[in-house]
Amino acid sequence: MVITAESVEFKNKSLPKCDIDEIRYGVKFISGFEFYIGRIYCIDIKSLSGVVMKVRLTSLYGVRKKRLDRKYSMIIDALWDNHMREVAESFITLFKNEITFELLGILFSQAGIQLTKQSKLIPWEDVGTKDYYRYYAIFSKTNPHNYKAFFYRDDWNTGILYSVSRYILGVKKLV
């Protein structure tokens, strides 16, 4: 796999940076009869035309687990440095310019967020987040039942949502 500022190449397929639409990543555990017997590191990159480039790294019974874990982390870091950071920064620029935008169905404005188009606005002072190994949750602190969870492996661009929301909360000194 070759990741540069211009493109991503994998198994004789090349995806130019301008064609990358969404990215998701995560670890899927392989179940045995009574316990996990391995893991699959999953990285999916979707093009604007909907074609998905799938990268899978598999470890069974702990064989090559540390090596694959390092490789997986290196790939995610390279994708972040060459592609995802720029996307996150574009959303942050919209926020700085006081432009309302939508990311993964959440409406971001200067006043706060709306988890759905029908829900009430949650002021920034009331916005809470939790980051877990498999998912990221964003919610109302005063009403924790008013939340949305995004799974890194299943939901596209969850890493970007994490970065943008945490940046805004940091700037407002709420984390």
Residues of the chain where predicted confidence (pLDDT) is lower than 70: none
What is the pLDDT, as a whole number, of residue 175?
Answer: 80
What is the pLDDT, as a whole number, of residue 129?
Answer: 96
What is the pLDDT, as a whole number, of residue 29?
Answer: 95
Which residues, listed in sequence order, are joined to residue 46 by a DSSP beta bridge? Answer: 22, 52
Give the strand pairing for 7-10 and 13-16: antiparallel
List the helix and strand counts (H, then E) for the chain: 3, 13
